[in-house]
Structure 1
């Protein structure tokens, strides 16, 4: 590690340390429906460095979710994602904001995430709408896997892709297999250590096959507009 790398890590550590009381302060302000999670993306498998409240069940030392993987995939181009709605596996509706953390060079290295359990609010809203005669039918938000084990997060993402295809891996043709790997790559799954092996195991294919599909999907990916091959 070079002196500049050491200095950069020291700066990032200082930013994270300064945000720990902010984590607890925000959670205390909003009460039991609020959870605040501080992530250090330098270690995706144990990115949670501080947590206050309990909405998604995160604990210190836990892994990032697929939301964090998407931030990793975007790298330094990542933007804050504010007031989006998702669901946990048990059906809890969560309104969340993910604020990316940058060092003095502008490099993204972590995130501050605020999660609010809005299940009761949504139920009350639906009841008031029914009483007022308003039409229902609002679409359900997507399910997000929040887990302290990165393997469970990767497995859930792979399974969700197959469910959307309404197919098993064996039922996909080559084009859709490459599309699956490209989509997983776009979501940042392969930024996690050992993710290729994890995906291979989940799909029931060899590690060599998984690496081959990943390489082919990247080679076949469209060139960004304005870029030169």
Structure 2
């Protein structure tokens, strides 16, 4: 009977390398022979996680499961917490290997090392916190963009119209209701923005402000006077 169980366990040895190869270096796979709990490990892969070796003993949970005969009603246990001697946090699962009579022969255990996952989680959380925790930097960036807007227009006419319309809109008063001082203020702002370096700007500004070209010239001549 014991020989049959040992032969059964041998068929699972390739699965140790197979599972570890699929999941990767953060996955330790262990095959236990429960007939010798003091030296139950018959195969292990990625043992850098726990530091255990072939010939090592069964775990405390493994002993408890054997004692309770948990394998009678269950075929496996999934995703229970574990911990290594040096403090690594694990997510573990165990498959009960049974013979044709339902008697347990061994356990195939998969231990996922979550250390890197938790480190990545902390990094992402800290990274997001740093972004959300610096509103002053975002505010400064927004203010810089507000002070130096850029409008990518397709023609000179669109460029001129865009600047004039945006500047007029800053007053929040329709041109026909603007006072002479308000219109003069618009002209001075447009001058600061270089609009009058563009050919035809005087006529275009006059049209938007619903006034004459001579008035625009007059406003420009008073550029340095108090409004």
TM-score by length of 1: 0.51
CA 1:78–1:37: 2 relative to 1, 3 Å: farther
Distance 1:89 1:52 in 2: 17
Structure number with greater Rg is: 2
Q: Which residue number in structure 2 is paired with residue 23 of structure 1?
A: 16
TM-superposed CA distance for 1:132, in Å, is 5.1
Structure 1, unaligned runs of 5 or more: 1-7, 134-229
Contact 2:9/2:105 (8 A) holds in 1: no
Tell me, yes or no, if structure 1 residue 53 matches structure 2 residue 46: yes
Q: Which residue number in structure 1 is paired with residue 26 of structure 2?
A: 33
CA 1:21–1:120: 2 relative to 1, 3 Å: same
Equivalent residue for 1:77, pick from 50, 72, 80? 72
Tell me which stretches of 4 or more aligned residues in structure 1 moved more than 6 Å: none
SS in structure 1 at match of 2:51: coil
Tell me, yes or no, if structure 1 residue 67 matches structure 2 residue 61: yes
Q: How many residues align?
A: 126
SS in structure 1 at match of 2:11: helix
Distance 2:100 2:16 in 1: 21
Structure with higher RCO (Cα < 8 A, 6+ apart): 1
SS in structure 2 at match of 1:32: coil
- RMSD, aligned CA: 1.7
SS in structure 2 at match of 1:11: helix
1:18-37, CA deviations, whole angstroms, 9 ceiling, x for partnerless residues? Answer: 11111111112222211111
Distance 1:78 1:96 in 2: 19
Q: Which residue number in structure 1 is paired with residue 86 of structure 2?
A: 90
Tell me, yes or no, if structure 1 residue 13 matches structure 2 residue 9: no
